Structure 1
């Protein structure tokens, strides 16, 4: 998934660069480049968000000092809260994607559903990653003795 995100980001950068050069120096309009770069950007953002979730790289607010066992309990609780947001992404993102099949893209030869599809797809990836994190953190939480400290 990381490689796909990197390739999409590279495609985004290259297309925008080529579009700017073609428009400013050769007076060649590239109508498709706007939508294609938007498509690459959307997929990069949503796949990147799933990857960041897996590696716990999102913004985190510690409610207790990070070396306390209690903080691991807060982590598990926050994962459960995140599941509700993931549910919204999957269910409503899927409905939104289905609605996009009836609308054609202005400049690309497919429907706008491809622009909306990263929402439920990254939601499913986030669901799997969150379940993995809940399992991992629960194991750590149960293994810790009261004398041990938790260091993430």
Structure 2
């Protein structure tokens, strides 16, 4: 399961980077043709919108797989270890249901309806815009299923540890931080003032 998750994350990451690069290039071309060449491109705006939609859904699936999505887990972290595990399993199960029914099944229906409607500036059907919804839904469902198994078996914690971005990350940074705190003039002055008060 870990291999599947890693492979899927790598694939989504590469696709997201490529889509972002295409989006930037297309938008830049649109600005150049409109502002510099004074002959606006007819296809670039619509193509940029499609890239943005695909990037949003696939990027969201990637972020979910990394467990980097926004979560208000203040109350859940107050529970016991078993309570945290039960809460996380419930949340992942709800996500699995939504990804399976709402995104995958609903996305397929939306793509079917729009498959015979053509875009105005591109030779594609609007269904190509909607087809990313079930693709992202399947990816999110796979990630949710893997998380359910790993949390249930204890292979990963229910809630990941919160990392302080200012905290030292290795022994050298820890020593540098300690030397910096001791040697700063403000802290030395404060220590001297406290001794004088005594």
Normalised by the size of structure 1, how large is the TM-score? 0.88
Kindly indicate whether residue 65 of structure 2 is the aligned counterpart of residue 65 of structure 1. no
Q: Please list every run of 5 or more consecutive structure 1 residues that lacks an aligned counterpart in the other structure.
A: none
Deviations 1:19-42 (A, max 9, x none): 112110110111101110011111
Residue 84 of structure 1 and its aligned partner are, at CA, apart by 2.4
- Cα distance change, pair 43–34 in 1 and its aligned pair in 2 (3 A): same
- Structure 2 match to 1:108: 122
Question: Equivalents in 1 of 2:119, 2:43: separation in Å?
Answer: 10
Q: Partner of 2:86: helix, strand, or coil?
A: helix
Q: Partner of 2:84: helix, strand, or coil?
A: helix
Q: 1:85 aligns with which of 83, 87, 98?
A: 98
Question: Equivalents in 2 of 1:91, 1:60: separation in Å?
Answer: 25
Kindly indicate whether residue 142 of structure 2 is the aligned counterpart of residue 138 of structure 1. no
Question: Equivalents in 2 of 1:90, 1:64: separation in Å?
Answer: 29
Q: Please list every run of 5 or more consecutive structure 2 residues that lacks an aligned counterpart in the other structure.
A: 1-11, 162-198
Question: Equivalents in 2 of 1:65, 1:101: separation in Å?
Answer: 45
- Per chain length, whose mean CA-contact separation is higher, i.e. which structure has more relative contact order (CA < 8 Å, sep 6+)? 1
- Structure 2 match to 1:95: 109
